[in-house]
Structure 1
Amino acid sequence: MTSARPVLTVLAALVAIWYAASVWMNATWVFDQAERAGQSVTWAEVVPQTMAQARPLLPPPHQVAAELWKGVAGQKITSKRSLVYHGLITLRGTMMGFALGIVLGVALAVSIVRYRVMELSVMPWAIISQTIPIVALAPMILTLSNQMGIDSREVPKAIISAYLSFFPVLVSMVKGLRSPDQMQLDQLKTYGASENQTFWKLRLPASMPYFFASLKVAVAAALIGTIVGELPTGAIEGLGARMLIGSQFGEPLIMWAALFAAAILAGMLIVTVGVIERLANTRMGVRP
């Protein structure tokens, strides 16, 4: 309980600030309506009205929570209004891009550590690639996919997701593969170990803590990439599509509920990676 107290304190402060901001932003509509009716209202009358607007500028927490609950538990999973349904669509694209990002990041990291020319030629371009805004890149990927005859909307989303997720894996794996010190490398040489044996017996096991740390960042980045990829593709399914629909039709509650559903999904993915990490550490005999 003591360890949870700082977290709960920060959470309570954020909720209080959120409520205060909701009253301040939504009060404009209440005052405008009162002015049109030729009436005056007091703050005691304004506050309750800011808490129950159908289309508030900033929905208060309880309205977002109610909309989130309705989208998760108040609909059938197969319903197009179910956030679970849309979350599964986004999850599928996230996992495709995440897997592709892992393969690409690990492959490049191994090549960079193994070959000096790859470090000099590939690493700078990998760093430069992350300076390109993904919002500008997503429509270009979609256009190229259409030109190549790829009709599936999943492929562009997976590419965008992989684009964001491969870089943390690449950087961390390069660091991890190079983490063994020279004494350890020299010891394996005295045993007559080959380069491949050194990689599998020393470099790869030593990189595992770095690898799993990068996965927690990469899986969140993959989710962001999938959601961003759903926006310019004209998708009607997925959490990104729900956010876009809420924005286009003036339904902020839909948009905020989808936003929090994405945050919950990201948290679940990070926890899952943590569980896999603990299982892998147990399998490898790593002490906690």
Structure 2
Amino acid sequence: MITDLLRRQVLPVLVVGALTLLVWYGAAIGLNAPGAIERVLDPQGPWTWQDLVRATLAMQRPVLPAPHQIAVDLWSGLVDWPIDSPRSLVLHTWVTGEATLLGFVAGALLGIVLAVAIVHARTLERALLPWVVASQTIPVLAVAPIVMVILGSLGFEGLMPKAVIATYLCFFPVTVAMVQGLRAPQRLELELMHTYAASRVQTFWTLRLPSSLPFLFPALRVSMAAGLVGAIVAELPTGAQAGLGARLLTSSYYGNTVAIWSALVMASLLGLVLTGAITLIEKAVLRRMRPAPTRRAA
């Protein structure tokens, strides 16, 4: 059974990963070859294709870094520097993760409150829902500088502006999913609650909220990923000294493509950890909500 599980789930992942690495190395050699011939090898001198491959995979500023170069820089950023050093990826990841989590919590709460208001008041649905949808038509790259300037003029700097941008991207998926989830109960179920003389609050906690959870948690994962993007984008126009966005910006100034890619990989790992935590919470909550199995009488 274990062998069959490995063959069905682990083997396909390994095969895709191996093919990805093969294509990546091929692309790195092809894209870095002109620069290697121009800056590393002698254009007129004798050299073999093995020399060319070695040169393309060991360039200081390659067009496309090889996977092993990114892994070395990633390990160095995590281990070789103190946590408070500007070169530490742990510091940059913590700063971005802090803004992401704060924006996620604020966005999720805002989305839930808006959804509850929309479901329970038709007037608010007509008044709020079009604006909720319209808010997402504005690119975050255009919103971020405006928010930074306004909040900066009010004395808010550092974490708060980034969290606001993350909130802007987080609340929309939660609002839309919760509206759908709170309306998921069937008419018969609502009439049954009415028969029991349940109030709106009792109907919400007993019926609507449990029915909305399967809609809520997928939206929270999307919201968390969007919040991470918002936090990174918010770090770009501010000239921040810490954060993965600041690391990307600084590395691009100096043409350090290896550091750019290591920051991107770290952002991906941070996103996986945060969304994975939501998945674990989802499984725990839904497991507690399942009715206990009844025992048959002997």
Q: TM-score, normalised by structure 1?
A: 0.95
Output the CA distance in 2 between the equivalents of 1:19 and 1:136: 36
The verdict on how the C-alpha distance between 1:66 and 1:34 changes in structure 2, with shifts beyond 3 A counting, is closer
- Tell me, yes or no, if the aligned pair for 2:37 and 2:43 is still in contact at 8 Å: no
Output the CA distance in 2 between the equivalents of 1:165 and 1:286: 32
**Cross-structure match for 1:227:** 232
The one-letter amino acid of 2:65's match is P
- Superposed displacement of residue 45, structure 1: 2.0
Indicate the larger mover: 157-166 or 128-137.
Answer: 128-137
2:263 paired with 1:238: no
- Tell me, yes or no, if the aligned pair for 1:71 and 1:84 is still in contact at 8 Å: yes
2:27 paired with 1:24: no
2:204 paired with 1:166: no
- Tell me, yes or no, if the aligned pair for 1:105 and 1:166 is still in contact at 8 Å: yes
- Superposed displacement of residue 168, structure 1: 0.8
**Cross-structure match for 2:78:** 72
- Superposed displacement of residue 29, structure 1: 0.7
**Cross-structure match for 1:120:** 126
- Tell me, yes or no, if the aligned pair for 1:57 and 1:252 is still in contact at 8 Å: yes
Output the CA distance in 2 between the equivalents of 1:184 and 1:34: 73
**Cross-structure match for 1:136:** 142
The one-letter amino acid of 2:240's match is A
Please give the secondary structure, in 2, of the residue aligned with 1:122.
helix
- Superposed displacement of residue 36, structure 1: 6.4
Q: Give 1:91's match in structure 2, choosing from 93, 97, 121.
A: 97
- Tell me, yes or no, if the aligned pair for 1:31 and 1:41 is still in contact at 8 Å: no
- Superposed displacement of residue 80, structure 1: 2.2
- Tell me, yes or no, if the aligned pair for 1:34 and 1:40 is still in contact at 8 Å: no
Output the CA distance in 2 between the equivalents of 1:286 and 1:51: 57
Please give the secondary structure, in 2, of the residue aligned with 1:193.
coil
User: Where do 5+ consecutive residues of structure 2 fail to align?
Assistant: 1-5, 293-298
Output the CA distance in 1 between the equivalents of 2:42 and 2:179: 65
Output the CA distance in 2 between the equivalents of 1:35 and 1:277: 55
**Cross-structure match for 2:60:** 54
Output the CA distance in 2 between the equivalents of 1:286 and 1:173: 23
Indicate the larger mover: 189-198 or 274-283.
Answer: 274-283
- Superposed displacement of residue 188, structure 1: 0.8
**Cross-structure match for 2:289:** 284
- Superposed displacement of residue 286, structure 1: 5.9
**Cross-structure match for 2:153:** 147
- Superposed displacement of residue 254, structure 1: 1.1
- Tell me, yes or no, if the aligned pair for 1:242 and 1:258 is still in contact at 8 Å: yes
Please give the secondary structure, in 2, of the residue aligned with 1:127.
helix
User: Where do 5+ consecutive residues of structure 1 fail to align?
Assistant: none
Please give the secondary structure, in 1, of the residue aligned with 2:27.
helix
Deviations 1:214-253 (A, max 9, x none): 1111111111110000111110101111111110111111
Output the CA distance in 2 between the equivalents of 1:12 and 1:137: 40
Deviations 1:37-75 (A, max 9, x none): 532544332111100001101000010011111111222
Output the CA distance in 1 between the equivalents of 2:11 and 2:219: 28
**Cross-structure match for 1:176:** 181
RMSD: 1.6
Deviations 1:153-179 (A, max 9, x none): 211101100111111111111111011
